[in-house]
């Protein structure tokens, strides 16, 4: 990932900023000292979100844009985070969201290709395993595909793996870093618990930890009983990923920035 000058202002755009993930994610980004401008875009509600966040005394200037404002939201952005789309209800898989969310993501990515072709794009909208390839093809068609700048956000899988592993090992979560590779749906999520120092588990315990990480999203969907999927933990995960990308773009020594994500790979 090429770094921008540390002195150039840093603009982040959140697309889907009025949603269950978008609002707390925007709040966390408003608190982030690396962000100079925060553009909140959605088809509803963003003037209110921006007015609300704008009263928090941190340096990020917040703007709220509706449908016609996509160009303004994206122009000058170095990072675009996309939680736009519908969430799951009980009994749904992430694939069931495909028909609606694929179209939403495609439209927003066309905007990125046109208005901020050099931005890092972080896609949260599910099914990530499909929305990222759709975004890649959309960018290719526009001549704006940079594989190293298109990421599916799988950070929540990492956070879940870390939490469940720390509980299993009776350790502080600070000391646990489980890499998670693969995709972001069920058995495509592959937590590598064996990479954690001193990790010990029976086959049964390992299977249970792996299964809980792979299907942790279902726990939240069921507990919310029709009111959607993970929003607060996902907002935190999206923030962690965004903050690390911004640190990279600002030219931090890359050795201390390691994030798992769903990216093109041979």
Residues annotated as catalytic (active site), given as ranges: 184
- Cβ burial 193-206 (10 Å sphere, 16+ → b, else e): beebeebebeeeeb
**How far are the Cα atoms of 94, 143, 157, 186, 219 from residue 90, in angstroms, in the given order?**
11, 39, 19, 15, 10
Smallest distance, ligand NAD to C-beta of residue 133, A: 15
Please check whether residue 108 is in contact with residue 63, taking contact to mean a CB–CB distance below 8 angstroms: no
CA distance 166 to 193: 11
CA distance 177 to 228: 28
Write the CB contacts of 128 (distance below 8 Å, at least 6 apart in sequence). Answer: 94, 152, 153, 154, 183, 184, 185, 262
Smallest distance, ligand NAD to C-beta of residue 136, A: 16
Residue 210 or 233: the one with the smaller Cβ distance to ligand NAD is 233
Residue 60 or 65: the one with the smaller Cβ distance to ligand NAD is 65
Residue 87 or 248: the one with the smaller Cβ distance to ligand NAD is 87
Binding stretches for ligand NAD (CB under 6 A): 15-16, 18-22, 41-44, 83-88, 97, 101, 104, 107-108, 124-126, 128, 153, 156, 184, 228-231, 234
Smallest distance, ligand NAD to C-beta of residue 8, A: 26
Q: Which residue has the closest beta carbon to ligand NAD?
A: 19
Interaxial angle between packed helices 98-115 and 128-141, expressed in degrees from 0 to 180 and rounded to the nearest 10: 40
Judged by DSSP in three states, 191 sits in: strand
Smallest distance, ligand NAD to C-beta of residue 238, A: 8
Please check whether residue 18 is in contact with residue 40, taking contact to mean a CB–CB distance below 8 angstroms: yes
Nearest Cα residue to 237 out of 29, 16, 5 = 29
Smallest distance, ligand NAD to C-beta of residue 170, A: 27
Residue 182 or 250: the one with the smaller Cβ distance to ligand NAD is 182
**DSSP annotation string for 48-72:** HHHHHHTTS-SS-EEEEE-GGGHHH
């Amino acid at each position: 990932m090429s770094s921008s000058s540390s002195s150039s202002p840093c603009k982040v755009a959140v697309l889907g900023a009025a949603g269950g993930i978008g609002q707390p994610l925007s709040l966390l980004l408003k608190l982030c000292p690396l962000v100079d401008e925060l553009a909140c875009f959605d088809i509803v509600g963003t003037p209110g979100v921006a007015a609300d966040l704008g009263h928090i005394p941190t340096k990020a200037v917040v703007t709220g844009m509706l449908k016609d404002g996509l160009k303004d939201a994206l122009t000058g952005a170095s990072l675009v985070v996309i939680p736009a789309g519908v969430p799951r209800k009980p009994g749904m898989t992430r694939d069931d969201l495909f028909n609606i969310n694929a179209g939403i993501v495609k439209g927003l990515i066309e905007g990125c290709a046109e208005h901020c072709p050099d931005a890092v794009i972080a896609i949260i909208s599910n099914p990530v395993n499909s929305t990222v390839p759709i975004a890649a093809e959309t960018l290719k068609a526009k001549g704006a595909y940079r594989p190293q700048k298109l990421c599916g956000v799988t950070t929540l899988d990492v956070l879940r793996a870390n939490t469940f592993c720390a509980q299993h090992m009776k350790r502080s979560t600070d000391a646990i870093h489980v890499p998670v590779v693969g995709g972001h749906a069920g058995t495509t999520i592959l937590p590598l618990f064996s990479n954690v120092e001193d990790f010990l588990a029976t086959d049964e315990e390992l299977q249970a930890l792996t299964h809980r990480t792979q299907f942790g999203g279902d726990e939240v969907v069921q507990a919310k009983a029709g009111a959607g999927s993970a929003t607060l933990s996902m907002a935190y995960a999206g923030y962690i990923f965004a903050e690390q990308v911004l640190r990279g773009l600002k030219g931090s020594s890359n050795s201390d920035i390691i994030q798992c994500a769903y990216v093109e790979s041979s």
